[in-house]
Structure formats: structure tokens, C-alpha cells
């Protein structure tokens, strides 16, 4: 931290016997210009600290830490210079060599250095947080380096793939209608944490929890990177967009005990990483190590990181990668009251952030409804799986699909998930894109160099008659219909919906369901949509607008009873009724592939009716008698024309007289009572 006389340096290293602070003239300098030795007089408990006069912002530095040695397993390795875990910026990327952080060879000329920076707070007066309610929130997951790149990108060439370039793409996001963007990891990561010949593109390989990733910066001045992140967040706030950051606190890029010594390992690997009684690293991240977030010093570092990004850089929330791993205690025992989340929820400066987590880890722990933190929403993987299975036509899928449409009460103690607790999604960065979900039966990951062994084998996908690209009109039309069915199911369900970058324009990864190393057009945004892509984009844009319009009816904090009950006749009382081909007769049998539901208000009768036909033939559905004329809002089965027109269309005379609709095979229809659009303004 900068002081009136210079800079105060501080480092946590409880078991160290001696520490050296090395100051460099530049990030690529091969040797330090000054070495400051810290002894016991520079120690307060577990903290080593020293004030160095005559230096300031821009100073580059690293640490050398000495202590007990256990060669081949643990202990300190003073041949390695270490990155400060609290550094707000990093320099030396042009000389960094990951391989030289292995073994006992000195890495002085190839190490990364921290850079002394300002620690100013974000200007919330100029760009206040949008603070969208969970009820209104629609999340869009994107990759900063890939969203503004690709043939046809509207972003200026020299800004593509950068924080500032993303600013130029904000109008696209606003037009789409999303309220919140979720950025894949933007904390500094090691792109070389990958097999030979590949680079880590996604960034789930953290090297620092404080510094922004250098590759997304415009220019190469490490002192400018934090300001560029602030400019991005400011522009998003001023456009009404929230910014969530995907954070990887469950592991680091140092791998297991055979991995490189870059930062945490060299300070005290027994403090930061879970280990067994023999000293072997325990791994529930799938990446070689697991952070011991139950320990006080580790929790303090994570909390400082969150404050850095939320208060200094202005972001509006976090998505915890494999977040349930952070709830494990000693020997990886699951904790019902994990201290990290207790401290997050008790911190007044973090109290108003949006917090989302994966409720699973690679050790088999899965806690969705009972995620042990009151204010953390969880990715609802069951929603993804069950919606996919229904529209694919699987047996034993109808009842679970109905539960997802009702807010997953079967998973949340018999009641729909509390608002903000269930993040619903169909696709994410990990897995097929939506276009590939309906175009491939199996993964095609050979480009990753692992003989197609990587990536999930259980995708609940279906190619609809041909593997991959196809010119058969019957196949392509059916795929387009299924895309609309899936998206309508997502955006008409309670919960907080999340869309994946490019799904709205049928972005494909060629069947690759694990594009973690594909920093090329395969992993970038699709900026040259054809006519069919644009038609889906318009459908999604109007569907999001419809969700905002009907937000009051889709609010899971006002659960819809499924019986009329004592309050049925009271104004404003909404109850859901399930139907099948006949009214009030849902078919929950294992072989059923059709379902319908209606929302009804008091004595006014039905307000919405939705029919869903996942069968391979057309089916005729009886529709409720409404006090007001029915309007057709969505019909995904229309081969031509607009499946979600700007103005709802009245039913035909025959449909009104018969009180029934013929739904095309594998299609969805939504009817709305005529006055509803005016009564439920967003």
C-alpha cells in the first residue's frame, strides 16, 4: 500500500523463517535492483511487513521465502521468486516461463512480478449499481476475449477481445434485452496451464485473485488495466447492465505437489491447500489442488479479493466456480455452516451483491436446494437436464419437466425455489451450445488434442436425423423448432434464467462440448448471422421482452397453488392447473410426451394457457373457456411467418368453436387472455 514516504509491503507466511522483498526496475528485468531482507523485526504474528521509502506506484516486486524444507513433497523453495497474492496488477508476462517454476532451478529472470497500484474505490456516484431485482434478472454468460471477436464483429479491430472492446458491444446486449452479463474468469490466469501445444482460453486456472487478466487489456501498461475494467463496468452500469464475475476460488494454477511454485505454494502450501495426513494434495476441483477456504487466512484473502472487485472495480456480484467446494472443512468434510459464506453474508460491503454458485464439485458433493448459504443462488442443473430430456422425447420425462416449469418444488421441499435461489439454464460455457445440442448426438472434441476423451459424455442431445451441419429442410426446420421450444421453456419458467453467448444466433462449436482451449472462431461469438439466425434472435429478443412483461405472473416468490383452495374467489389469487389433452387431466405416465398448464386468477378464470407437445405426431389439446378472448402469443410450430409476433393473434373461428387447438409435433403454444397484456405491464 502506498504511504506518504513510499510503499508498505505485507505478506502472510506463518511458517517462514526469513523473507526477501526484491524490487525490479521493470517487469522484464532479469535481476532485482534492490533486495530488502525481512527478519523477525519485520514480523507481526503471521504477517511479514516493511515500508520502503522513495518508491511508489509502478514499482515491480516479488518475494523470496525461506523456511523448513522437505524436498520432493512440501516446504519452502527459495530458488523461486513468488507473486504477491494481493498484487492488484502483474508484470513480466513477456518473460514468464511456467516450466521454469518447476524444480530447484532459479526463476529470477522468468518470474512474474506484482505491480504497486492505486487502490481507489469505484465511482458509484457517476455509475451507480443498476440493482435489478432477481425477478427481473436475465443473465447472459460471455467470454470477454471471445465475445467481441470473430468475422463481422462490430467492434473496432484494435479493441476486439478487450475490456474496452466489450463496451462497443453493449448496444447489442441492450437490444437483446438481458439485464446482467456474467463474465467468464477475468482474474489473472495462467494461459500456459495446458498440455503442450495448447493454451487455456476459458481462464479456469487462477494465478491471482486480485489482478485483472492482462490479455484482455488494450495496450500493455499494467497500471492501466484496472482503469479499463472500471471503464467497462461504468459503461455497463450507465446502460443499465449489471456485471457478474465468474470467480475460481476453489483451486489455483499450481496443480498438485508436482506443479509449479508461483505464489501460494511457496508461501505455505499446507495453509492454502487441503492435504491428507501424508501431505498429499486432496483434489475435488479436478485441477490438482483444492483451496482450504475454511481457514482464517485463506478466507481473509478471498474476502479481500471480493472487496477488490466489488468496491475498487465496481462489479455487481460473483458466480463461484465449483462453489460447493468452498463449503468443505478439514479432510474435505462438508460443512453446514461454512465460515467463508457466513463472513460474506455478514460483511456490510458485500451485502447487496448478487451471488451465484455451482452447487457441485468433482468430489461428488451436490447441494442444490440445501446450498449452505442463505443469499447464494445455485445453478439448477436438474432444470437443464429435465428440459432437454422432455423435448428430446425421452420416456419418464413428463413429470420432472412439469416440476421444472413450476419452479422445481420437488427439489425445494415442496415449494418453488425462493427467488434468486434457482438459476435456470439450458447451456453454459461447459457443454454444447444450444445449436449443437440439437445438431449432434455425441461430442466432437478431437481438436482439443485428447482423442475425444475430454468433455461430458451425457449431454441429452439429439441431432434430429443427421450428425452436424445438414441441408435437409425437414431436419433443419425441426432443429429450428426445437430451439424455440427450449428457449420458450426456459424464459417462461420461474427462476432466474441464464443464456449462453451466441445461443440467440445459433452459435456452433462444431460439436465441441469442451472448448476450453479454443481461442479461435470456434470459441468466439457468431457475428455473421444468416436469415435463420436472425429469426431466432428476434424470437429471443421478443421472448425476453415477454418475460419482463409477465414478470408478476412468473414471480416464484408468489407461489401458485395447484388447488383452488379457500382463497380461490379472492381477487389477485393465482393458481396453476395442469392439463393433458383433456382439461384437468395431465398424463404423468412414463410414456407421456405432452403436457399443458394454465394460470388462473380468482373468478376471472384463466389468464395464460400453455400447451407442450414433444410427441412425434400432432396432438389436439382442449383449451379452457376464458372470460376474455384468447390470443395466440407463441406458436413454435409455425413453419412460416412469425412464431412470436409483436401483436398477439386471435384464434381462428374453428378453434374458438371447438375449444381446442391442434399442436404440431414437437411444438409449444402459449395463449394469453386479451386484457392481460395491458394489466401486467413490466
Q: Confirm whether 643 is domain-assigned.
A: yes
Query: Residue 17: which CATH number?
Result: 2.60.40.10
Euclidean distance between CA atoms 387 and 406, whole angstroms? 12
> What CA–CA distances, in Å, run from 328 to 254, 322, 361, 385?
20, 11, 10, 26
- 3-state DSSP assignment of residue 67: coil
Chain-centre distance for alpha carbon 49: 37
- Indicate if 577 belongs to the active site: no
Euclidean distance between CA atoms 176 and 583, whole angstroms? 36
Query: Residue 590: which CATH number?
Result: 2.60.40.1180
What are φ and ψ of residue 230, in 5° steps? -60, -40
| Residue 568: per-residue pLDDT | 43
Euclidean distance between CA atoms 460 and 392, whole angstroms? 7
Q: Confirm whether 310 is domain-assigned.
A: no
Query: Which of 321, 436, 503, 577 is labelled catalytic?
Result: 321
Query: Last residue of some domain: 115, 138, 167?
Result: 115
- 3-state DSSP assignment of residue 85: coil
What are φ and ψ of residue 476, in 5° steps? -65, -35
If we measure between CA atoms, which residue out of 165, 215, 168, 163 comes closest to residue 189? 215
- Indicate if 358 belongs to the active site: yes
Q: Confirm whether 593 is domain-assigned.
A: yes
Euclidean distance between CA atoms 496 and 615, whole angstroms? 28
Q: Confirm whether 93 is domain-assigned.
A: yes
Q: Can you give the pTM of this predicted structure? A: 0.96
Q: Confirm whether 228 is domain-assigned.
A: no
Chain-centre distance for alpha carbon 231: 21
If we measure between CA atoms, which residue out of 604, 656, 610, 611 comes closest to residue 630? 656
Mean pLDDT in consecutive groups of 10 residues from the start of the chain, 682 residues = 94 96 97 95 96 96 90 79 98 96 93 97 98 95 97 96 98 98 98 93 98 96 97 98 98 94 95 91 96 97 98 98 97 96 95 95 96 95 98 97 95 89 97 98 95 94 97 96 98 95 98 97 96 96 93 64 51 82 97 96 85 98 91 90 85 93 97 74 38
> What CA–CA distances, in Å, run from 93 to 82, 224, 281, 296, 625?
14, 15, 28, 31, 68
Q: Are 354 and 317 in contact (CB under 8 A)?
A: yes
Cα three-residue angle 441-443-444, rounded to 5 degrees: 120
Query: Last residue of some domain: 55, 88, 115?
Result: 115
Q: Are 587 and 399 in contact (CB under 8 A)?
A: no
Q: Count CB-CB contacts under 10 A for residue 567.
A: 12
Q: Are 362 and 323 in contact (CB under 8 A)?
A: no
Q: What is the DSSP letter of 448?
A: G
Cα atoms in the 13 Å half-sphere on the side-chain side of 114: 30
pLDDT tens figures, 648-678: 899 999 999 999 999 999 999 999 998 776 6
Q: Confirm whether 316 is domain-assigned.
A: no
Chain-centre distance for alpha carbon 369: 18
Q: Count CB-CB contacts under 10 A for residue 53.
A: 9
Read off the C-alpha cell for 370.
Answer: 440445501
Beta strands, E only, 269-333? 317-320
The count of domains in the chain is: 2
| Residue 562: per-residue pLDDT | 64
What are φ and ψ of residue 92, in 5° steps? 100, 10
Q: What is the DSSP letter of 593?
A: -
Query: Which of 141, 246, 312, 358 is labelled catalytic?
Result: 358
- 3-state DSSP assignment of residue 485: helix
Euclidean distance between CA atoms 124 and 311, whole angstroms? 9
| Residue 626: per-residue pLDDT | 84
If we measure between CA atoms, which residue out of 418, 383, 385 comes closest to residue 404? 383
Euclidean distance between CA atoms 630 and 609, whole angstroms? 9
Query: Last residue of some domain: 115, 150, 179?
Result: 115
Q: Confirm whether 203 is domain-assigned.
A: no
| Residue 644: per-residue pLDDT | 87
Q: What is the DSSP letter of 650?
A: E
What are φ and ψ of residue 48, in 5° steps? -100, 135
State the distance between the two ends of the chain, measured CA to CA, in whole angstroms: 47
- Residue 362 burial by CB count (10 A; 0-12/13-18/19+): exposed, middle or buried? middle
Q: Confirm whether 10 is domain-assigned.
A: yes
If we measure between CA atoms, which residue out of 274, 261, 165 comes closest to residue 217? 165
Residue linked to cell 451441419? 469
Question: Domain span at residue 49?
Answer: 6-115
- 3-state DSSP assignment of residue 164: helix
Amino acid at each position: 500500500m502506498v504511504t506518504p514516504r513510499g510503499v508498505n509491503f505485507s505478506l502472510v507466511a506463518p511458517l517462514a523463517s526469513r523473507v526477501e522483498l526484491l524490487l525490479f526496475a521493470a517487469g522484464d528485468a532479469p535481476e532485482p535492483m534492490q533486495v530488502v531482507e525481512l527478519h523477525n523485526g519485520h514480523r507481526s504474528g503471521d504477517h511479514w511487513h516493511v515500508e520502503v521509502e522513495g518508491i511508489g506506484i509502478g514499482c515491480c516486486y516479488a518475494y523470496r521465502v525461506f523456511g523448513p524444507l522437505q524436498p520432493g513433497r512440501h516446504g519452502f523453495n527459495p530458488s523461486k521468486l513468488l507473486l504477491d497474492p494481493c498484487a492488484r496488477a502483474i508484470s513480466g508476462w513477456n518473460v514468464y516461463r511456467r516450466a521454469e517454476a518447476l524444480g530447484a532451478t532459479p526463476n529470477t529472470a522468468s518470474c512474474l512480478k506484482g505491480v504497486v497500484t492505486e487502490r481507489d474505490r469505484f465511482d458509484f456516484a457517476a455509475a451507480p449499481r443498476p440493482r435489478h431485482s432477481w425477478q427481473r434478472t436475465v443473465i447472459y454468460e460471455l467470454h470477454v476475449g471471445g465475445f467481441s471477436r470473430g468475422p463481422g464483429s462490430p467492434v473496432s479491430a484494435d479493441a476486439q477481445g478487450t475490456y474496452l472492446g466489450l463496451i462497443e458491444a453493449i448496444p447489442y446486449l441492450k437490444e437483446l434485452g438481458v439485464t446482467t452479463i456474467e463474465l467468464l474468469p477475468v482474474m489473472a490466469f495462467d494461459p500456459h496451464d495446458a498440455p503442450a501445444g495448447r493454451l487455456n482460453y476459458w481462464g479456469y486456472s487462477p494465478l491471482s485473485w486480485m489482478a485483472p487478466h492482462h490479455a484482455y487489456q488494450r495496450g500493455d501498461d499494467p497500471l492501466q488495466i484496472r482503469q479499463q475494467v472500471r471503464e467497462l463496468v461504468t459503461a455497463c452500469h450507465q446502460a443499465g447492465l449489471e456485471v457478474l464475475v465468474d470467480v475460481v476460488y476453489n483451486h489455483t494454477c499450481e496443480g498438485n505437489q508436482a506443479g509449479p511454485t508461483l505464489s501460494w505454494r511457496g508461501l505455505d502450501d499446507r495453509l492454502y491447500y487441503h492435504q491428507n495426513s501424508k501431505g498429499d494434495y486432496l483434489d475435488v476441483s479436478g485441477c490438482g489442488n483444492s483451496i482450504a477456504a475454511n481457514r482464517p487466512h485463506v478466507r481473509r484473502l478471498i474476502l479481500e479479493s471480493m472487496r477488490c472487485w466489488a468496491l475498487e472495480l465496481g462489479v455487481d456480484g460473483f458466480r463461484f466456480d465449483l462453489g460447493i467446494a468452498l463449503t468443505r472443512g478439514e479432510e474435505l468434510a462438508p460443512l453446514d455452516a461454512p465460515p467463508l459464506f457466513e463472513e460474506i453474508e455478514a460483511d456490510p460491503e458485500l451485502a447487496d451483491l448478487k451471488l451465484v454458485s455451482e452447487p457441485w464439485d468433482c468430489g461428488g458433493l451436490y447441494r442444490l436446494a440445501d446450498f449452505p448459504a442463505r443469499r447464494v443462488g445455485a445453478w439448477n442443473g436438474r432444470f437443464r437436464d429435465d428440459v432437454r430430456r422432455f423435448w428430446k422425447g425421452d420416456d419418464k420425462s413428463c413429470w420432472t419437466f412439469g416440476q421444472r416449469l413450476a419452479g422445481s418444488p420437488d427439489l425445494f421441499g415442496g415449494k418453488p425455489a425462493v427467488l434468486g435461489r434457482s438459476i435456470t439454464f439450458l447451456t453454459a460455457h461447459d457443454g454444447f451450445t444450444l445449436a449443437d445440442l440439437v445438431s449432434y448426438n455425441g461430442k466432437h472434441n478431437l481438436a482439443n488434442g485428447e482423442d475425444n476423451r475430454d468433455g461430458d459424455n451425457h449431454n441429452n442431445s439429439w441431432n434430429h436425423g443427421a450428425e452436424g451441419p445438414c441441408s435437409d429442410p425437414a431436419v433443419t426446420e425441426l432443429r429450428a423448432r426445437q430451439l424455440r421450444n427450449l428457449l420458450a421453456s426456459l424464459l417462461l419458467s420461474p427462476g432466474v434464467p441464464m443464456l449462453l453467448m451466441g445461443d440467440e444466433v445459433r452459435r456452433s462449436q462444431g460439436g465441441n462440448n469442451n472448448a476450453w482451449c479454443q481461442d479461435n472462431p470456434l470459441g468466439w461469438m457468431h457475428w455473421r448471422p444468416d436469415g435463420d439466425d436472425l429469426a431466432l434472435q428476434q424470437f429471443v429478443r421478443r421472448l425476453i421482452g415477454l418475460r419482463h412483461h409477465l414478470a408478476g405472473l412468473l414471480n416464484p416468490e408468489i407461489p401458485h397453488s395447484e388447488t383452488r383452495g379457500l382463497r380461490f374467489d379472492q381477487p389477485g389469487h393465482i393458481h396453476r392447473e395442469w392439463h393433458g389433452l383433456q382439461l384437468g387431466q395431465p398424463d404423468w405416465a412414463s410414456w407421456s410426451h405432452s403436457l399443458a398448464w394454465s394460470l388462473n386468477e380468482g373468478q376471472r378464470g384463466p389468464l395464460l394457457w400453455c400447451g407442450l407437445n414433444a410427441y412425434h405426431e400432432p396432438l389436439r389439446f382442449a383449451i379452457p373457456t376464458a372470460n376474455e378472448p384468447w390470443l395466440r402469443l407463441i406458436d413454435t410450430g409455425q413453419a412460416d411467418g412469425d412464431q412470436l409476433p409483436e401483436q398477439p393473434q386471435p384464434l381462428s373461428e374453428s378453434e374458438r368453436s371447438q375449444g381446442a387447438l391442434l399442436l404440431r409435433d414437437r411444438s409449444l403454444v402459449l395463449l394469453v387472455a386479451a386484457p392481460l397484456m395491458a394489466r401486467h405491464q413490466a
